[in-house]
């Protein structure tokens, strides 16, 4: 069998194992090790497994993962996410669709603390769905906005998706974090626009909530101050050159713990529980990353990236058309694969192609991560949809997917705008790093 044939067999086996619900990391370990052994011998496969595991586990850049996860966990336990939603609710909840818009804003704010789409959808779902039910919001809109708003967690920094992309492509985590700021805010604004338009034409979808006094608005905004200060300190510190991403993660985690302790909402036991959960989540991510460093050389040895590149060159497409084709492939794969697994499987194939075409890797990273977001709400997998379903089991999956459609279209629009105007993503990192 040829090298390319062995590579294709390995990819098919990997898809089969994932279809059989074998954990992503273990499936990649098995295929990567067996593939390298078949192409280059068992000794090479064993040596690579040992060296890559040690090298990756000792990488200081990866400290951002447990620290940002810890920051998000503490923010949830200490009630900061609830106060963030309360502030948005007090300011705009009295308008048509105001509670839904407040949910999007709350998801965006929480995303800037947790970096996790699943955590954003789960936390805001518990907080916001009951309120929208109380004011007779359409169930498709209420569940759709939570599922879609949760996807902001993978784009608005700190983003675990950007960290994984940076490790796999050897790009700057700081540049990627900054590149996600304006696209994340743009997408948040497009979501609010979609809600406003829908509720303007169909007021019954999102009836206005009760009016609140100026005093109540100011009080609610005061409750959200710790979250806002933490976001400004971490992201602003990276942009201003005060912190590296690792230092910003440490400062952010420390500040959130301090605020939680001073508010009396955080006990030593809850901090330990948050730390334990952060360690568990980090261990899962690390296993996937180590497995990725077996898959990558296996695909390289099989010459699949070169073969795919030759096929794309043979199509004689323009650079933009090639980029759109790659994103379309990501969009289709996102309907079936988990986001991290998709990054690990595809970047070794597509990244050499986009660098050969002269496409900015930071800009490409934003486009890929945004496309991964779409996979979180695309059928049949749609992880965020099932998260919302677990919070509100009485709502049919079809109703949730129908409610998601306007936000899915807004994501398509965001991708189009980013392709037409790359500076939306590149302005901040280029300003900071010259």
pTM: 0.81
- Whether the pLDDT of residue 412 is over 90: the answer is yes
Rounded Cα distance, 370 and 372, in Å: 5
**Packing angle between helix 225-239 and helix 423-433, nearest 10 degrees?**
70
In this prediction, residue 416 carries a pLDDT of 95
Question: What domain range is 406 assigned to?
Answer: 3-433
Nearest-CA neighbor of 64 among 194, 162, 143, 155?
Answer: 162
Question: How many domains does the chain contain in total?
Answer: 1
Joined together, the tokens standing for residue 172 give: 């700057």
Average pLDDT, the chain: 83
Token digits for 360? 């900015």
Inter-residue contact 192 to 105 (CB < 8 Å): yes
Say if CB 157 and CB 181 are below 8 A apart.
yes
Residue 434 pLDDT exceeds 70: no
Say how far apart CA 121 and CA 67 lie, in whole Å: 20
The per-residue pLDDT for range 183-200, each reduced to its tens digit, is 999 999 999 999 999 999
45-73 per-position pLDDT tens digit: 888 888 877 777 777 777 877 887 788 78
For residue 331, what is the enclosing H or E element?
A: helix 319-334
pLDDT tens sequence across 229-243: 887 888 788 777 788
Contact 376, 151 (CB under 8 A): yes
Q: What is the 3-state secondary structure (H, E, C) of 341-377?
A: HHHHHHHHHHHHHHHHCCCCHHHHHHHHHHHHHHHCC
Beta carbons of 95 and 77 less than 8 angstroms apart:
no
Query: Measured between alpha carbons, how far is 249 from 46 in angstroms, rounded to an integer?
Result: 34
pLDDT digits (tens, 9 = 90+) for 356-406: 889 999 999 999 999 888 877 887 667 778 778 877 888 888 888 899 999
Q: Are 236 and 255 in contact (CB under 8 A)?
A: no
296: tokens are 């990558």
Would you give the distance in Å from CA 306 to the centre of its chain?
29
Measured CA to CA in angstroms, residue 35 lies from 27, 28, 38, 118, 193 at distances of: 12, 10, 5, 32, 48
For residue 363, what pLDDT is reported?
95
pLDDT, tens digit, 9 for 90 and up, residues 5-49: 888 888 888 878 877 878 777 888 888 888 888 888 888 888 888
| 114 in Cβ contact with 68 (< 8 Å) | yes
Nearest to 301 by CA among 34, 18, 55: 34
Write out pLDDT tens, residues 70-118: 887 887 787 777 777 778 778 877 788 888 888 888 888 777 776 667 7
Q: For the segment 298-327, what is each residue's pLDDT rounded down to a tens digit? A: 877 887 777 777 777 777 788 899 999 899
pLDDT of residue 216: 77
Q: Give per-residue pLDDT as tens, 246-302.
A: 888 888 888 888 888 887 778 888 888 888 888 887 887 778 777 777 777 887 788
Q: Omega before 158 cis (within 30°)?
A: yes
């Amino acid at each position: 069998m040829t090298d390319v044939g062995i590579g294709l067999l390995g990819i098919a086996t990997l898809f089969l194992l994932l279809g059989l619900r074998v954990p992503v990391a273990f499936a990649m370990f098995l295929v990567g090790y067996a593939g390298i052994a078949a192409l280059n011998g068992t000794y090479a496969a064993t040596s690579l497994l040992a060296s890559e595991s040690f090298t990756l586990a000792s990488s200081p850049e990866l400290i951002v993962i447990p620290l940002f996860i810890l920051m998000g966990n503490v923010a949830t336990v200490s009630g900061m996410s609830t106060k963030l939603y309360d502030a948005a609710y007090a300011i705009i909840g009295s308008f048509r669709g105001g509670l839904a818009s407040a949910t999007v804003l709350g998801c965006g704010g929480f995303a800037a603390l947790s970096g996790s789409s699943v955590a954003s959808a789960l936390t805001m779902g518990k907080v916001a769905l009951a309120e929208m039910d109380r004011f007779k919001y359409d169930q498709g809109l209420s569940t759709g906005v939570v599922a879609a708003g949760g996807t902001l967690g993978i784009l608005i920094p700190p983003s675990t998706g950007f960290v994984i992309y940076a490790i796999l492509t050897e790009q700057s985590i700081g540049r990627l974090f900054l590149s996600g700021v304006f696209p994340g805010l743009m997408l948040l604004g497009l979501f609010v626009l979609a809600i406003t338009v829908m509720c303007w034409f169909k007021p019954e979808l999102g009836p206005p909530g009760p009016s609140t006094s100026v005093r109540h608005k100011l009080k609610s905004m005061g409750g959200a101050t710790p979250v806002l200060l933490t976001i400004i300190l971490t992201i602003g510190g990276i942009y201003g050159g005060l912190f590296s991403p690792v230092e910003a993660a440490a400062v952010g985690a420390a500040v959130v713990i301090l605020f939680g302790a001073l508010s009396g909402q955080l006990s030593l036991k809850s901090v330990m529980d948050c730390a334990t959960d952060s360690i568990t989540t980090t261990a899962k991510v690390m296993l996937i990353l180590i497995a990725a460093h077996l898959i990558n050389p296996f695909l390289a040895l099989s010459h699949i990236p070169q073969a795919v590149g030759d096929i794309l060159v043979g199509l004689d497409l323009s650079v933009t058309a090639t980029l759109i084709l790659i994103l379309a492939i990501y969009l289709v794969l996102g309907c079936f694969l988990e986001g991290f697994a998709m990054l690990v499987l595809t970047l070794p194939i597509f990244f050499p192609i986009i660098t050969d075409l002269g496409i900015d890797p930071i800009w490409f990273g934003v486009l890929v991560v945004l496309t991964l977001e779409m996979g979180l709400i695309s059928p049949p997998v749609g992880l965020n949809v099932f998260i919302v379903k677990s919070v509100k089991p009485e709502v049919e999956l079809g109703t949730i997917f129908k409610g998601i459609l306007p936000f899915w279209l807004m994501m398509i629009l965001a991708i189009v705008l980013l392709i037409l105007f790359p500076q939306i993503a590149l302005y901040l990192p280029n300003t900071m790093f010259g």
